[in-house]
């Protein structure tokens, strides 16, 4: 078996673009698979002590180091579907910056490769290729390839390699479930669980760190749709309101009666029609999960009717064993 240094030497001798792809890696928690060079590793982004760790359902980061050069493949779940032409969507976004073409169209997978026509060498991560993938359930994710400035001298070879990696696409086992359903999500160590009636079109993920957890509700939309919908439920001891970050003051809040976990809540409601920004949130103490535990429930959207929809989801949530 070759050592890592021997494999790197072999890749350089044969040409970086021709490096053997023998390392099968899961992307976005088995949404798909790709083949990478043997020494490539799945390395999540580093985060600060106050930030949640990266969620494997949201992103995947594959790193390949070769001497002083580095290539990074970064995949992101878009929480979007594409019912039309994936190539048509990509071409519309290309402008004069990219040239797109279909790379894969088989086994219920469609992928479109977008090659940059210019390169920003002032960046620490230089984009050399990006791939948009539509899976069997019509949901879409993106994976992009970046190189460091030290690798730019071998740009063409890295572009060739990234296209070969992208061509190795194979389907995964996990679908993006956005059907109407009921989900249970353990809180902390699972002594109690949220019971959530999830309407059609929504996906839930959970981020966590040492002493806090965050449930995130996203509404799956058609790719290119610029509307936004977000419901966030933080469980921990150090929450902070979102409205201040968005330039609102407490005096601008309208107080709306509602409920959360069968408990009456007076929501703080904020609206800015000019920015199409609507926020409804509140901090809800809940010592039953430990002294000082607070839920921060925050709803954000670009339409007031979406806030009403999110309030309906929140109002039906249960917490129990």
**Domains delineated in the chain:** 4-171 (3.40.1000), 181-320 (2.60.120)
CB neighbours of residue 37 within 10 Å: 22
Q: Can you tell me whether residue 294 is helix, strand or coil?
A: strand
**Which residues neighbour 122 within 8 Å (Cβ) at sequence distance 6 or greater?**
none
Q: What are 164-189's pLDDT values in tens digits?
A: 999 999 999 999 999 999 999 999 87
Q: Is 188 exposed, middle or buried (0-12, 13-18, 19+ CB in 10 A)?
A: middle
- What pLDDT is stored for residue 210 in this prediction? 77
Given this model, what pLDDT does residue 95 score? 77
- The whole-number pLDDT of residue 14 equals 60
- 19 touches 13 (CB < 8 A): no
Whole-number average pLDDT of the chain: 93
Contact of 318 with 195, CB cutoff 8 Å: yes
In angstroms, the CA 1 to CA 7 distance is 10
Quote the pLDDT of residue 213: 94
Q: Which of 134, 142, 9 is nearest to 66 (CA)?
A: 9
pLDDT score, position 15: 86
Higher per-residue pLDDT: 161 or 2:
161
Closest listed residue to residue 162, CA positions, set 138, 120, 108, 126: 126
Average pLDDT over residues 300-305: 97
Q: Helix and strand tally (H, E) in the chain?
A: 4, 21
pLDDT in the model for residue 19:
96
As given in the structure block, the two tokens for residue 279 are: 């926020």
Is residue 306 scored above 80 in pLDDT? yes
At residue 208, the pLDDT reads 86
93-101: long-range contacts, CB 8 A cutoff, minimum separation 24: 98/130
What's the CA gap between 301 and 285, in Å, rounded?
24
The CA-atom distances, in angstroms, between 185 and each of 24, 197, 295 are: 31, 11, 15
Closest CA to 256 of 274, 280, 233, 273: 280
Residue whose entry in the numeric block shows the structure tokens 């980061």: 61
Rounded to whole angstroms, the Cα distance separating 244 from 24 reads 45
The CA–CA distances, whole Å, from 302 to 69, 221, 253, 272 equal 43, 14, 17, 9
pLDDT of residue 131: 98
Q: CB within 8 A of 19, min separation 6: which ones?
A: 10, 11, 37, 161
Mean pLDDT of 283-303: 95
pLDDT category at 5 given cuts 50, 70, 90 is: low
**Which tens digits make up the pLDDT trace of 216-267?**
999 999 999 999 999 999 999 999 999 999 999 999 999 999 999 988 999 9
Q: Find the mean pLDDT for residues 293-318.
A: 97
Average pLDDT over residues 33-50: 90
Query: pLDDT category, 12, cuts 50, 70, 90?
Result: low
CB 266 within 8 A of CB 282: yes
The yes-or-no verdict on residue 48 having pLDDT over 80 is no
Out of 17-21, 48-52, 86-90, 282-286, pick the least confident. 48-52
- 276 pLDDT band (50/70/90 cuts)? very high
* Distance separating alpha carbons of residues 46 and 54, to the nearest angstrom: 8
Q: Copy the structure tokens of residue 75.
A: 């995949």
- Whether pLDDT at 8 is above 80: no
pLDDT band for 46, please (50, 70, 90 cuts). confident
pTM assigned to the model: 0.90
| pLDDT tier at 50, thresholds 50, 70, 90 | low
178: DSSP letter = -
């Amino acid at each position: 078996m070759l050592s890592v240094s021997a494999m790197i030497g072999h890749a350089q001798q044969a040409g970086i673009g021709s490096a053997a792809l023998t390392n099968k890696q899961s992307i976005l928690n088995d949404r798909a698979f790709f083949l990478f060079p043997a020494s490539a590793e799945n390395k999540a982004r580093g985060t600060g002590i106050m930030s949640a760790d990266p969620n494997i359902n949201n992103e995947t980061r594959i790193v390949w180091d070769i001497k002083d050069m580095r290539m990074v493949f970064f995949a992101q779940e878009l929480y979007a579907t594409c019912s039309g032409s994936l190539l048509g969507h990509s071409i519309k976004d290309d402008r004069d910056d990219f040239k797109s073409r279909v790379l894969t169209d088989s086994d219920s997978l469609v992928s479109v490769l977008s090659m940059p026509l210019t390169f920003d060498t002032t960046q620490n991560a230089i984009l050399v290729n990006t791939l948009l993938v539509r899976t069997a359930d019509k949901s879409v994710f993106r994976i992009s390839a970046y190189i460091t400035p030290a690798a730019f001298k071998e740009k063409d070879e890295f572009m060739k390699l990234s296209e070969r990696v992208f061509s190795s696409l194979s389907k995964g086992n996990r679908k993006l479930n956005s059907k109407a359903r009921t989900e249970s999500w353990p809180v902390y160590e699972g002594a109690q669980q949220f019971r959530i009636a999830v309407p059609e079109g929504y996906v839930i993920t959970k981020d966590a760190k040492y002493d806090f957890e965050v449930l995130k509700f996203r509404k799956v939309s058609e790719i290119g749709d610029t509307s936004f919908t977000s419901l966030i439920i933080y469980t921990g001891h150090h929450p902070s309101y979102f409205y201040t970050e968005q330039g609102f003051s407490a005096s601008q809040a309208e107080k709306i009666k509602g409920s959360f976990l069968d408990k009456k809540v007076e929501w703080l409601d904020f609206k800015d029609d000019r920015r199409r920004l609507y926020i409804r949130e509140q901090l809800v103490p809940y010592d039953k999960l430990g002294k000082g535990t607070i839920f921060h429930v925050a709803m954000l959207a670009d339409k007031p009717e979406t806030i009403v929809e999110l309030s309906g989801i929140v109002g039906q949530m249960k917490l129990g064993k």
